[in-house]
């Protein structure tokens, strides 16, 4: 089962108001459970996007890795140019350990100011000894790195903020 399949299951759970899903196939087991309301699940786990991994925390990907975030209005008089588009968050599609570079000796995949495209790898998340490359899935400029290297991340946790760029012309 790959990440696309798990995302599709989560989408179906949301659309059909399914509160729990469990599957076991060839030694792989996944159990997804929607929290009754946003916030904290009955077991005390934090619910992100309404889906809580309940046993074991195998993989619980986000429905959409990028979602719009609020932007503070600038202080002082309004600029004469069009306001910038809201920043987009690149969110973690799974639970695991966040790594900014492919190895400890390597440079980070992206830095603040780096231009990214939908297929640009921005980090790795290690889950169950598997290194998962996370792609930007958006075109823009990295404005913030929100997670410290080698720290655990939760499903749906924002990893980066990106200022979107207009699509290239034909």
- Whether the pLDDT of residue 170 is over 90: the answer is no
Which of 27-31, 79-83, 84-88, 147-151 shows the lowest per-residue confidence on average (mean pLDDT)? 79-83
Considering the domain boundaries, does residue 67 fall inside one? Answer: no
Q: pLDDT confidence of 5, banded at 50, 70, 90? A: confident
As a dihedral over the C-alpha atoms of residue 75, residue 80, residue 81, residue 83, rounded to 10 degrees, the angle is: 30
Considering the domain boundaries, does residue 72 fall inside one? Answer: no
The residue segments making up the domain with residue 160 are 86-164
Q: What is the number of structural domains in the chain?
A: 2
User: Is the Cα torsion angle 7, 21, 127, 112 positive or negative in sign?
Assistant: positive
Considering the domain boundaries, does residue 70 fall inside one? Answer: no
Which of 58-72, 85-99, 105-119, 148-162 shows the lowest per-residue confidence on average (mean pLDDT)? 58-72
Query: How buried is residue 130: exposed, middle or buried, by Cβ count under 10 Å (0-12/13-18/19+)?
Result: exposed
Which of 13-27, 45-59, 139-153 shows the lowest per-residue confidence on average (mean pLDDT)? 45-59
Number of H helices, E strands in the chain: 1, 14
CA distance 105 to 135: 21
Is the domain of 95 the same as that of 160? yes
Residues forming a β-bridge with 40: 46
Considering the domain boundaries, does residue 135 fall inside one? Answer: yes
62-84 pLDDT, tens per residue?
A: 443 333 333 344 454 544 444 56
Residues forming a β-bridge with 23: 30
Mean pLDDT for 92-111 is: 94
What CATH number has the domain bearing residue 152? 2.40.50.100
On whether the CB atoms of residues 98 and 92 are closer than 8 A, the answer is: yes
Residue linked to tokens 């998340």: 125
């Amino acid at each position: 089962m790959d990440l696309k399949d798990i995302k599709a299951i989560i989408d179906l759970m949301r659309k059909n108001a399914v509160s729990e899903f469990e599957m076991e196939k060839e030694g792989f087991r996944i159990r997804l459970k929607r929290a009754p309301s946003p916030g904290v699940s009955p077991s005390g786990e934090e619910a992100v996007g309404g889906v809580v991994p309940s046993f074991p925390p195998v993989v619980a990907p986000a429905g959409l890795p990028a979602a719009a975030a609020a932007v503070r209005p600038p202080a002082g008089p309004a600029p004469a140019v069009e306001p910038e588009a809201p920043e987009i968050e690149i969110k973690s599609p799974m639970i695991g350990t966040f790594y900014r570079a492919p190895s400890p000796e390597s440079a980070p995949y992206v830095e603040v100011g780096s231009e990214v495209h939908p297929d640009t790898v921005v980090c790795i998340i290690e889950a169950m000894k598997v290194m998962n490359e996370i792609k930007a899935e958006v075109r823009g400029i990295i404005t913030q790195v929100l997670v410290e290297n080698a720290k655990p991340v939760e499903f749906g946790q924002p990893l980066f903020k990106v200022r979107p760029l207009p699509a290239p012309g034909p």
